[in-house]
Amino acid sequence: MFRACIRPDLDLRILEERHAETVFALIQQDRAYLRQWLPWVDATETPADTLAFIRSALEKFAASSAVTAGIWHRDEFAGVVGTHEILRLTRRVELGYWIGESFQGRGLVTDACRAMITHLFEDRDLNRVEIHCSVSNLKSAAVARRLGFELEGTLRDSTLAGNRLHDAYVFGMLKKDWHA
Ligand SMILES: CC(C)(COP(=O)(O)OP(=O)(O)OC[C@H]1O[C@@H](n2cnc3c(N)ncnc32)[C@H](O)[C@@H]1OP(=O)(O)O)[C@@H](O)C(=O)NCCC(=O)NCCS
């Protein structure tokens, strides 16, 4: 199993097909909270949908076109951190994340993102990482700010959340600023 220990109570593991039921169970349990911000939640109706997501993520991992990892808190599945499609020509990528409602407030996402971003800059030779979030998603914007990302602008009606379009903040981090 691929596993990176980030801190004593947090590790990142590549999502495998055998995790589909566990991942789906958390989505099912926290559906109302997650669907406020994540447009794919309503389309995730059965464990088979989560299995399809994991298979697609594994294919992209093998092709080096995206990286997705599960967030585990004390050996319990807590959420996901992962990239969208890596844009090779411009060496940039957008990062996404979610965590179960009861796992919030422990810095798990911030630390998971920090490890993932270091991997993207150091091992994957990327130059720019973006975080996009609804301007109303204060907790997500706080993750970007806590990581030192710069707020670069607002995209109007750019993100779908809770069945309506929201303006989105674009936060950016460049490799040269990451370790500063
Ligand atoms: C957005 C989301 C991931 C933020 O989760 P979070 O738990 O607030 O983020 P972190 O895990 O980084 O935890 C930060 C919190 O833990 C606290 N914390 C405790 N220990 C910490 C540590 N070692 N390091 C950093 N923060 C720590 C911080 O003070 C902060 O608390 P606060 O919100 O009261 O200020 C979560 O709300 C979520 O999944 N929402 C639904 C899906 C979503 O919106 N995804 C993003 C779409 S753009």
Token pair listed for 48:
């088979």
Q: What is the pLDDT of residue 179?
A: 82
- Is this prediction's pTM over 0.85? yes
- Domain assignments of the chain as residue spans, ordered by start: 3-128
- Report the distance separating Cα 159 and Cα 74, nearest Å: 33
> CB count, 10 Å around CB of 51?
17
User: Yes or no: is domain 3-128 CATH 3.30.67.10?
Assistant: no
The residue to mutate among 9, 33, 101, 104, having the most atoms of ligand 1 within 8 angstroms of its beta carbon, is 104
pLDDT at 1: 61
Q: Based on C-alpha coordinates, what's the Rg of the chain?
A: 15
The conformation of residue 65, written as its DSSP 8-state character, comes to: S
Query: What is the rounded CA–CA span in Å between residue 31 and residue 117?
Result: 27
Mutate to test the pocket of ligand 1, among 106, 131, 167 (most ligand atoms within 8 A of CB): 106
Q: Dihedral, CA atoms, 45, 138, 160, 133, nearest 10 degrees?
A: -110
- Measured from the CA of 105, which atom of ligand 1 is nearest? 16
Pairing of strands 128-134, 92-99: parallel
Nearest ligand 1 atom, CA 33: 41
* Joined tokens for residue 35: 């669907």
Ligand 1 atom closest to the Cα of residue 104 is 7
Tell me the CA–centroid distance for residue 148 and ligand 1, in Å: 14
The angle formed by the CA atoms of residues 169, 116 and 60, to the nearest 5 degrees, is: 90
pLDDT at 61: 96
* pLDDT on residue 73: 98
Q: What is the pLDDT along the chain (180 residues), one digit of tens a residue?
A: 678 999 999 999 999 999 999 999 999 999 999 999 999 999 999 999 999 999 999 999 999 999 999 999 999 999 999 999 999 999 999 999 999 999 999 999 999 999 999 999 999 999 999 999 999 999 999 999 999 999 999 999 999 998 899 999 999 999 999 987
Assess whether the C-beta atom of 47 lies below 6 angstroms from ligand 1: no
